[in-house]
């Protein structure tokens, strides 16, 4: 990883006391808290203003633009959400009707998920934006309810077909780092599960109800993929047949379990048997800098690009160069998801 120009922390010496609670929803756009601010590393995990993030690298300041494709005339309204840095905002789009931003949800940030394994979620979406900020929305932007966890710092989420919500804990000053909290039917206080991970970055369910998550292990040094088999109470480590450099989104694509590698700029398609994930295909992406979170819909994959500070659209499973780039306001994007009314 290129860390030139940025300070590295040795071990976990960065004082987590610098954490502050994410701001509540505001009526005006916040000032930019991420771009141009302080960056540091604890092991291989990037910290921005003292808070851990799931991106592999800071923004580069390069903002490439690509041509859009023809508008979609479907009757159902589709929405894409690009989540910026914690406590800032989510930028709302209605691609492929347009690449122009159509709205914002202030106070949001981090990552998102919906009630679909892949594709456009139905009527709702969730945002996990860091401390005390797990919020369900009615599409496109009406808050429904808020959940909480007893750990700092929740960052990822995934839903199964039964409506259970899994929230991953990226970092914790004490116990809890790498845990996953599952809220039955997306409500209640949640049940915490310990994983082999030191830090949990992303999670996703497959079509059988098995929950997968990735992150760092080995004293925050090496990539690991783990699984909570359906009906089990214990996560197990899954061995991948290839090397993954940096944890990225974990998502079912209708055929394969996929894991994105933020450093390699590639998405790996796996079949999983027992505790082994066998690589079947590698999808390479060009033009993006750091897809901190990706979201797959039929024929496309959306990228919240922390490195280019924008949102991008790629063909799936073709990969290659972006077919479109969202135009709007971004502040160190960490997440992306998609839903429809």
List pLDDT tens digits, range 313-341.
Answer: 999 999 999 999 999 999 999 999 999 99
Overall number of domains in the chain: 1
Domain that holds residue 336: 78-340
Tell me, yes or no, whether 23 lies in a domain: no
Q: How far is CA 223 from CA 195, 213, 246, 266, in A?
A: 13, 11, 6, 15
Mean pLDDT of 243-255: 97
CATH of the domain at 143: 2.120.10.30
Please report whether residue 264 resides in a domain. Answer: yes
Mean of all residue pLDDT scores within the chain = 86
Does some domain include residue 19? Answer: no
Residue 116 maps to a domain? yes
Are the beta carbons of 244 and 261 closer than 8 angstroms? yes
Q: Is residue 93 part of a domain?
A: yes
DSSP β-bridge partners for residue 237: 226
Cβ contact 262:223 at 8 Å: no
59 touches 231 (CB < 8 A)? no
pLDDT in tens, 134-173: 999 999 999 999 999 988 889 899 999 999 999 999 987 6
Is residue 31 situated within a structural domain? no
Domain assignment present for 336 = yes
Residue 131 lies in a domain: yes
Among 270, 221, 226, 228, which residue's Cα sits nearest to residue 246?
A: 221
Report pLDDT digits (tens) over 77-122.
899 999 999 999 999 999 999 999 999 999 999 999 999 999 999 9
């Amino acid at each position: 990883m290129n860390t030139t120009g940025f300070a590295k922390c040795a071990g976990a010496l960065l004082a987590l006391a610098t954490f502050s609670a994410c701001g509540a929803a505001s009526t005006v756009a916040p000032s930019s808290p991420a771009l141009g601010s302080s960056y540091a590393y604890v092991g291989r995990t990037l910290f921005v203003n003292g808070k851990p993030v799931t991106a592999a690298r800071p923004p580069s300041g390069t903002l490439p633009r690509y041509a859009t494709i023809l508008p979609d005339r479907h009757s159902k309204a589709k929405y894409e959400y690009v989540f910026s840095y914690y406590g800032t905002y989510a930028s709302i789009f209605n691609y492929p009707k347009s690449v122009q931003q159509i709205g914002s949800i202030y106070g949001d940030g981090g990552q998102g998920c919906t009630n679909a394994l892949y594709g456009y979620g139905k009527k709702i979406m969730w945002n996990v934006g860091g401390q005390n900020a797990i919020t369900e929305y009615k599409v496109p932007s009406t808050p429904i309810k808020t959940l909480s966890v007893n750990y700092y710092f929740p960052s990822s989420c995934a839903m199964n077909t039964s409506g259970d919500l899994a929230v991953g804990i990226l970092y914790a000053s004490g116990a809890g780092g790498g845990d996953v909290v599952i809220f039955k039917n997306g409500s209640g206080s949640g049940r915490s599960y310990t994983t082999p991970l030191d830090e949990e970055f992303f999670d996703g369910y497959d079509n059988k109800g098995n929950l997968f998550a990735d992150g760092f292990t080995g004293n925050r040094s090496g990539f690991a993929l783990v699984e909570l088999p359906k009906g089990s109470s214990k996560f197990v480590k899954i061995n991948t047949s290839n090397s993954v450099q940096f944890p990225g989104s974990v998502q079912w694509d209708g055929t394969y379990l996929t894991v994105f590698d933020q450093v390699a700029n590639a998405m790996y398609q796996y079949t999983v048997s027992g505790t082994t994930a066998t690589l079947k295909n590698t999808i390479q992406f060009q033009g993006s800098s750091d897809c901190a979170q990706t979201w797959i819909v039929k024929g496309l994959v959306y990228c919240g690009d922390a490195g280019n500070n924008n949102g991008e659209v790629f063909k799936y499973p073709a990969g290659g160069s972006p077919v479109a780039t969202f135009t709007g306001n971004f502040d160190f994007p960490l997440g992306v998801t998609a839903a429809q009314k």
